[in-house]
Every structure is written in C-alpha cells, then in structure tokens.
Amino acid sequence: MKNVLEYMEEAAGRLPDKTAVIDDKESCTYRKLQEISQTIGLCLADYVLKEQPVAVFMKKSVLTLEVFFGIVYAGGFYSLLDPGFPTERTKKQLEVLRPQVVVTTPEYREKLAEVGYAGTILIAGELQEKNPEDFSKEAKERLAEIRKMQRPEAPLYCNFTSGSTGTPKGVLVGQDSVITFIDHFTKLFGITEQDVIGNQAPFDFDVSVKDIYSCMKTGATMVIIPTAYFRFPNNVMDMMEEHKVTTLIWAVSALVLINRLHEFMYKVPAHINKVLFSGEEMPAKHLADWMRQYPKAQFVNLYGPTEITCNCTYYRIPQLVQEGQKLPIGEPYPGKQITLWDEDGNVIGPEKEEVTGELCVSGDGLALGYYHNDAATQAAFVQRKMPDGTFKRIYKTGDLAYRKDGRLYFAGRKDFQIKHNGHRIELEEIERAMNALPQVAQACCIYDTERYRIVAYYTGTEDKKGIVEGLRGRLPEYMLPNAYRFLEELPLTKNGKIDRNQLRKQ
C-alpha cells in the first residue's frame, strides 16, 4: 500500500453501507465518503499542484474529512487552520504554507480577507454538491493519472506547532509514515471494524490522525465530538452513549476534565473498552477513577511528538494505579528505535538505569521536516553515529527520559517547550507576545507541573485585564497563561538572566 486513500477505498468496497463518520449534524457511509471525496478531488485538480499545500480553514466535521481526502485525490497535502485562532496566528501560518488555494465555509470567508489572503478561496459545501456526472471522462482519467504519479513518501498533511521565534513551525508528514504507523497501531491495540472511535482531538492535532486513519484502515466508525461539547461535558457523555463509542484516543486533559467535573455521576457510557491517552503525564488519581469505571477496558499510555508521526512508545497499564504513581512511557513501536543521549553526544546504554538523557527517535515514521524552514529541520533532524557504528537520521525530541526496571520514563523538557492540555507550547512565544504589550516591561512564563498551569510573571503596570485582552489578539486560547503574577522586578541570576528557579519557588 502506498496511499492512505486505499484504506478508504477498501473499506468502501467491503462495507459500502456502513457508517464511516458521524458528527453532530450528519453521518456518511463509506461509499458516500469515497464518492464525495472523489468529487471534491475532481474540483480541486485544476487548482492543486503536485505535492503542494491546500489550507483547510474549517471547524472539524464530516465535510472537513471529505475535503482532506479530496485534496489527497487531487495530489496535494492538507493543512487545517483553526478559524478560532487569532488573526495574527492564522496570518503567520499562511505565510509558512504559501497555499495557492484555501478551502473554507461561508462564515469564515471574511476572516480570510482580514488576514490578507490573496489566493483562490473555494467553498467546501459547493465542492461537495457538485454532480460527478458533470465532469468529463478526461477529468476522471486525470485523477487516476495523479494517483499513479504519487510517491509513497509524498506529504499527506502539515500540522503546526509552536515556534520559539514567534513563527509557528509546520511539521510535514508523509503518506508512508502514516501507513506504517497505522498498520502497527491498529494491530497492537486490536482496533477492528466493530469499533466506534470517539474523536476528541482537533483536526490540526496529530491525535486525530490516529482516529481518522484507524477507522479508514479497519472499517470502524468515527464519531466526531464537537469541541464545544467539552464546555458542557454532559453532551460528550450523551453522544458517546448514543453512538455506542468503544474507543477513546484522547488527550490527558480531556480525560481529566471528565473526571474532575464528576461526569461519571451523570452517565457512564456503557461500551468503552479501550482508553489510550497522550499529550502530558496522566495524574494517577484521575486514571485510577477511569479504571474503576471500566475495569475490563484496555488502558494505554502513549508518548511521541508530532515529528515522529503520532507516537513512538506505548505502555499498557496492567492494573489499577496507585496514588502518586508515575507511569512509564513504555516500549518502542515496531520499526522505531529509541536512544538516550547525554550532553556530550554519547548514547546512554540500556544497562544504565536512572541516568537521564535526551530522548531521540530513529527508524520508521520520522517527519519529512518543517515546511519552508530548513534551519529548524537541520537542527532537529540530524545524522548520528549509533552504537553499532551505522549512521542514522534521528529526531531530537528535546524531551528528557531515563530507564528503570527496563522501562522508559519521561523526565521533563530539555528546554522551555512544554505540553499543556495536549498542545506543545514554547513558553518563549508567550513571553514574546507579552513583552510586545504596552503594559508589560518584562515577562517570564513558568510551567507549574504540580498544578498543570502556565504562570506568567511580569513587570510594568499591574493591569491583568489589559494583558489578557492583548494576548487574546495574539495567541490561541490554549496558549494563554492560567495565572498572572505582577512583580516590581524579576529575579536575576548572577550572569543577568531571569532566575526561573527562583520564580518557581514563589
């Protein structure tokens, strides 16, 4: 297999009338999903250049998925841009992508004008409603020709992460990486056509890749839970029960939210048998409560940055966790190799337990790089000499880890990049946005690992309301600090740098 469309096409041939995907407004069978995706592909073929990006400026829905596959049929790759992000953020993402085409819905056309996008804008609903019979035989043959010319390693999607320079980085992932990962993922965790996967993750977040392509690979059904439902989680529980959801591949923060708001007192969806989570460390007390509700379910701790295609390690949790217990991140996926490196560039051998080093990943599934950012790509994806004498391309995660009892454990970030509510965030980017505000003289952000919150310290004027309003225009909601602390001056180290350790003690 060399194209993810083969997953959907095989499912459509085997299970044509089975529901492929459901959202809060509509559902779609596998046959219909293939037909509409091909129609959208026919529409886009005149606009999309080979292996070039198409920005998708939409909220997640059945239609969004059809647009994704239509873009792949047309020979391009997709990148979802969240319409809820601040205008400045969207503008920077478009500057990185430089797409000739943006697919959107009518309500977001005006916002595209605000960011100054001057390329072609297409309306998704209009593409969806085209009649396939209106296309010539030559047009349909062109789609077949595009498919023949597609390389297995051709880019499939570009997801954005926070960038320390203030410019977001677009992680470009190839078709072959996704296919290799999904083949292992579905086999490891027993996902089949009998499953119903409850999608929590936004479509610009790589957790959704597991939801989407696990369904396409196996013929399972995907239930798209609207992001807004998590503000009123009773709706989440109702939707999971109504559609008999069996599988959750969620961010830790979403699982914690359900438990923290005592949603199990309202309803316990009866069919859940797999709970896989990632994004940050899962608090033992919340995990224990989930495991008590579903004593027969499979619980798995997943780890991996976007740059290695979804995950590189996993740990099946064998029994109820105890209060304060730290979970391993487990063992590597098939085809991936994990090495720990010390500060001198030497590999820390597996026999050296409780010695912390930077976790690096090699093998299958490494991203193609950062789109239009060669400097960042060369810094993060490097050739290293391995213990066996061979040279391999590895990704330097910036995460620290150690081994204990033969298992890998996460030990925090090497720099100031954090995982918060499932999102990877550069604290420096928040600081840069704060420092640009007139109320702020100097800013520093700390991540409180005990209370899972971003704390912003600043000097200048004690105007928290003005700072929050200013940041809302510059940063997405998930990057906003959870607490603000005004100081007369920031503590400094002896060499004149802000003393972050001193701030952590406050």
CATH of the domain at 190: 3.40.50.12780
| Average confidence score pLDDT of the chain | 93
Mean pLDDT across 412-421 = 80
Quick one: pLDDT at residue 165?
67
Tokens read off for 149: 């010319």
Q: Which residue has the higher pLDDT, 488 or 323?
A: 488
Long-range CB pairs of 348-354, under 8 A, 24+ apart, other chains included: 349/387, 350/403, 350/406, 352/403, 353/402, 353/403, 353/404, 353/405, 354/402, 354/403, 354/404
Same domain? For 426 and 456 the reply is yes
Residue 335 pLDDT greater than 60, yes or no:
yes
165, 315, 406 from 34: Cα distances, Å: 41, 35, 45
Q: Same structural domain for residues 168 and 48?
A: yes
Q: How far apart are CA 203 and CA 79, in angstroms?
A: 9
Res. 494: pLDDT tops 50: no
Predicted confidence band of residue 307 (pLDDT cuts 50, 70, 90): very high
β-bridge pairing 313-316 and 423-426: unpaired
Is 55 domain-assigned?
yes
Mean pLDDT comparison of 99-103, 164-168, 351-355, highest-scoring range: 99-103
Task: Please give the model's pTM, rounded to 2 decimal places.
Answer: 0.85
Tell me if 299 is assigned to some domain. Answer: no
Q: Considering the domain boundaries, does residue 250 fall inside one?
A: no
Confidence at 176, pLDDT banded by 50, 70, 90: very high
**Dist CA 161 CA 200 (whole Å):** 18
CA distances from 3 to 65, 69, 158, 372 (A): 16, 11, 16, 24
- Same domain, yes or no: 364 and 380: yes
Q: Looking at the structure, tell me whether residues 209 and 336 fall in a common domain.
A: no
- Shared-domain flag, residues 477 and 459: yes
Residue at 23 is within a domain: yes
Segment 125-135, tens digit of pLDDT: 999 988 877 78
Which of 350, 379, 413 is the last residue before a domain boundary?
A: 413
**Residue 358 belongs to domain with CATH number:** 2.30.38.10
Q: What percent of the chain has pLDDT over 90?
A: 74
User: Could you tell me which residue, 343 or 194, shows the higher pLDDT?
Assistant: 194
CATH code at 465?
Answer: 3.30.300.30
pLDDT tier for residue 240 given thresholds of 50, 70 and 90: very high
Higher pLDDT, 451 or 186: 186
Shared domain check, 426 and 405: no
Q: Stretch 2-11: mean pLDDT, rounded?
A: 96
Q: Is 404 a domain residue?
A: yes
The H or E element that residue 503 is part of is: helix 500-504
Greater pLDDT, 165 or 482: 482
Q: Are residues 405 and 450 in the same domain?
A: no
In a domain, 8, yes or no: yes
User: Which domain-ending residue is among 413, 444, 476?
Assistant: 413
Q: Span 236-261, mean pLDDT? A: 94
Residue 23 is classified by DSSP as -
SS3 420: strand
Say what the pLDDT of residue 326 is: 86
**% of the chain surpassing 70 pLDDT:** 98
- Residue 352 and residue 118: Cα distance in Å, rounded? 56
Q: Is residue 251 part of a domain?
A: no
164 has a pLDDT exceeding 70 = no
User: 362-401, pLDDT tens digit by residue?
Assistant: 999 999 999 999 999 999 999 998 888 899 999 999 998 9
- Statement to judge: residues 452 and 407 lie in one domain: no
Q: Are residues 337 and 434 in the same domain?
A: no
The answer on 154 and 220 residing in a single domain is yes
What is the rounded average pLDDT of the residues 181-196? Answer: 98
Tokens found for residue 205: 């977040």
Residues 379 and 434 in one domain: no
Residue 231 lies in a domain: no
Final residue of a domain: which of 369, 393, 413? 413
Domain count, the chain: 3
Give the domain extent around 448. 421-504
pLDDT of residue 5: 97
Tell me which amino acid residue 43 is.
C
274-278, 386-390, 475-479: least confident range: 386-390
111 and 75 fall within a common domain: yes
Q: What is the pLDDT of residue 497?
A: 64
Q: What's the average model confidence in pLDDT over 257-280? A: 94
pLDDT digit string (tens) for 52-67? Answer: 999 999 999 999 999 9
pLDDT of residue 394: 98
pLDDT value at residue 426: 79
